[in-house]
Structure 1
Amino acid sequence: MDKITHQVRAEHWTRILNECMNSGMSKTAWCRVNGISEKQFFYWQRILRRETYEASQNPALPVAETEQLSAVQKTVSFAEIKLPVVSPDASSVFHPDLVIRKGNLVLEISNSASAELLSRVGGILHAE
């Protein structure tokens, strides 16, 4: 697939992914309702995320490449969350103060979580 064709398809799938995210429905249900192949949906989601991540890691991209990816970069975002390094202690058992479930994702959070961490987690959950 040449760059122009890929760019057109990427823009098309970016719009589809945004519509799904803004619908408030699960991805699987949204695909079913809108007649979108789940296989294609998740394929393009993975491709667009990978391209956006790669672009964010390579600040030396030529201007033309950056302009081509700008639509993708505006719609898909990533947040790096650095967790403190803690040595595992078999005697301590974590008891979360908050449990968030979204699909197959389960987040267990304690009251000691920083405001920055909570903000980033909220942003990630909203993006899904």
Structure 2
Amino acid sequence: MTQPRANRRSQDEWFQLIQECRNSGLSDRAWCEQHGILVSSFYNAVKRLRKSACDIPLSSNRRAYALDLTSSSKQEAVQIDICPDPYPEAVPPAKQMCPAPHLDNSHTIELMMDNVSLKVSNSADPFLLQQIIRMLRADQC
């Protein structure tokens, strides 16, 4: 005999559970196993909440790979000795090249959704970009 289906959780309940999971430091799978939640149900809830434009944090295993724009991490600098070219006259000087006016390489990534084209540069504010993409998703529904 099959077991009766458990009561459905509300969006608010799922949102709280997802926040708790993502703040626990555990992987989504480990947290779900500890709390008796099917991983598939958990990810379905994440998908539903994202579609309704809820701000869901990254899972702990994805957070390790995300670019941290807020930290003040230091990079090691290495000095490189640059030696002068021993044969400077052997290579003719290069002509000054101007980029073709129809090419725009100032952006790093270009997203296209239906009739909307979004060009993003490296200096784009991540929060602003997140809000724009969220707005575009909402317009697609």
Q: TM-score range by the shorter chain?
A: 0.3 to 0.5
Greater relative contact order (Cα 8 A, min sep 6): structure 1 or 2?
1
Larger radius of gyration: 2
After TM superposition, the score normalised by the length of structure 2 is 0.36
Higher helix share: 1
After TM superposition, the score normalised by the length of structure 1 is 0.40
